[in-house]
Amino acid sequence: MSKLRTLFWFFRLAWPVYLAGFSTLALVVFLGNSGYYSWAYQTWLNTSAAFHQRLDFAGPFAALFGALVAGRLSAPSRVYALPTGARDKLTVAASQLLPLCLSIFIGYLLGMLPLVYLTFQSATYGRLDVAAAFVGPLGVVAFAVGGWLFGLVARTALLAPVAFAIAFLATVLGYRGDAFAGVLPVLYFLPPVGLREAPTLVLFRIAVLLLAVTTFVVAAARYLERRRFARQFPTPMSFLVWVPLLAMVILGVVQTPRLFIADGAAFTTCERRDGVDYCVHAANAPALQAMVDAAQPVLATFGTGSAPYRRVDDFSLIGYDAAQRRADTFYFDVAPDINPQTVIPNLAGALAGLDACYARPGLDTESPEYRNASSLAARLYQQEGTSSDGPFADVSREDLQRWISANRSDIRSCAVEAVDIPAA
């Protein structure tokens, strides 16, 4: 029987598993991205990261189907897998791994297509980070090959759930913090706009995954080339195959590569309203109008002449680096999944002096200074159909602005002990 005919013969035996793997991976990835579909807009940064983040569940399922294929085709009851028969390792690997990896790989990419399409439609800045995205497809192949090696050794499909559990444990470790970020494809934290995955991290992860795939294949080849295909205790040489991968993993854990770096020169989109500049990172341009509409009424109520801020900037413009913050700028959390209205209490509190109150050691929340600052913040945040409590509740905007202008210094230092607002 030729090698090509052998490949098709093995495929006929396991095609339901390949089809199930393809369908499951596509569905798991599609559902894993479902939280992004309702976002106001997409960013290439997030989509690039999603390629490897979906391995949190897709990876274990790939390992499961890899173990199912090997367990189904390597069972001792198979006439071509008898303990007394030697098998050509290249034929076995090609006939099982090629259709397995192709079905898993294509299913994974198919599940990513809707998110990529939405990003093409709404993203306003950047492009796909091919290297960071490549970690995802490469990772799913590594999980599949690792599961296949497990099933090859187990020689039964009944233990495939164990392969799933081991792979799931590996992905869970990725959410434990920085320690395993260099060796596992799932990150515990995704960089916001203004940051990106460090090239050293991406390249190191790709190297680890390529070495893992190579190690799994070599280990499988050594297992297959034994004359008697019965369960045997591994030889010392079999352990040596794993040394390079183990050394790489230890290096990645002990010396974790830097995770994120600044995105470089930030391209900004700005709008000027009532003497205040509102600016966002170009990737967040679709959120600019919503940010202006949310922040402008609060600043207008406070009085732009009295406000300490001449700008309202997207945090992404400084790469979330607190050292770059300017005193005349309020930094706004802008992201596709953040409603600008949820950030407005922070702006109102900053204008009312609550930040200064929090910085004062030992200040009681029942103190007049804190209560007056809180009341002013609530008044600034007051929207139509709501009301605030305290001395500012029923004060007109004009009277409020006159009082703020006369007490700016005390407000900024959280030193307003009494509120006396005479009517105009």
What average pLDDT is seen over the chain?
Answer: 84
Averaged pLDDT for residues 212-221: 90
CB 132 within 8 A of CB 50: no
Check pLDDT > 50 for residue 124.
yes
Residue-wise pLDDT tens digits, 378-405: 888 875 434 556 787 777 888 888 888 8
Averaged pLDDT for residues 283-291: 92
The dihedral formed by the CA atoms of 366, 367, 373 and 377, expressed in degrees to the nearest 10: 0
Residue-wise pLDDT tens digits, 173-185: 888 878 888 899 9
pTM of the model: 0.84
pLDDT reported for residue 325: 86
Sign of CA dihedral 74, 77, 78, 80: positive
pLDDT reported for residue 129: 94
Averaged pLDDT for residues 297-316: 88
pLDDT reported for residue 121: 94
Check pLDDT > 60 for residue 12.
no
Length of the chain (residues) = 424
List the alpha helices (DSSP H) in 199-320.
199-224, 236-240, 243-254, 288-302
The DSSP symbol for 157 reads G
Q: What is the Cα–Cα distance from 83 to 231, expressed in whole angstroms?
A: 9
pLDDT reported for residue 382: 75
Shortest CA distance to 307 belongs to which of 338, 331, 267, 275? Answer: 275
Neighbours of 8 (CB within 10 A): 12
Q: What is the Cα–Cα distance from 304 to 350, expressed in whole angstroms?
A: 14
pLDDT reported for residue 395: 79
Tokens of residue 175, six digits: 């959410």
CB 303 within 8 A of CB 407: no
Q: Which residues contact 201 (CB under 8 A, 6 or more apart)?
A: 181, 182, 257, 258, 259
pLDDT reported for residue 372: 87
pLDDT reported for residue 79: 44
Check pLDDT > 90 for residue 152.
no
* Percent residues over pLDDT 70 in the chain: 85
Residue-wise pLDDT tens digits, 76-87: 555 445 454 445
Averaged pLDDT for residues 88-112: 84
CB 424 within 8 A of CB 395: no
Shortest CA distance to 61 belongs to which of 27, 95, 33, 34? Answer: 27
Q: What is the Cα–Cα distance from 395 to 415, expressed in whole angstroms?
A: 20
Tokens of residue 333, six digits: 């959390």
Averaged pLDDT for residues 93-103: 84
| Sheet containing 311-314: order of strands | 268-273, 276-281, 311-314, 329-332
Burial of 166 (0-12, 13-18, 19+ CB in 10 A): middle
Check pLDDT > 70 for residue 261.
yes
The DSSP symbol for 195 reads E
Q: Which residues contact 82 (CB under 8 A, 6 or more apart)?
A: 76, 229
CB 68 within 8 A of CB 151: yes
pLDDT reported for residue 91: 64
- Looking up tokens 């070495």 gives 211
Q: What is the Cα–Cα distance from 354 to 165, expressed in whole angstroms?
A: 48
The string of DSSP codes covering 283-304 is GGGGGHHHHHHHHHHHHHHH-T
- Looking up tokens 């090859």 gives 152
The region of weakest confidence among 221-225, 249-253, 288-292 is: 221-225
pLDDT reported for residue 136: 96
Averaged pLDDT for residues 212-220: 91
Q: What is the Cα–Cα distance from 51 to 136, expressed in whole angstroms?
A: 5
Residue-wise pLDDT tens digits, 224-255: 766 454 455 556 666 788 899 999 999 999 99
pLDDT reported for residue 227: 44
Report in angstroms the alpha-carbon separations of 379 from 291, 391, 413.
19, 9, 18
Sign of CA dihedral 17, 23, 27, 30: positive
CB 28 within 8 A of CB 116: no
CB 306 within 8 A of CB 376: no
- Looking up tokens 């406070």 gives 302
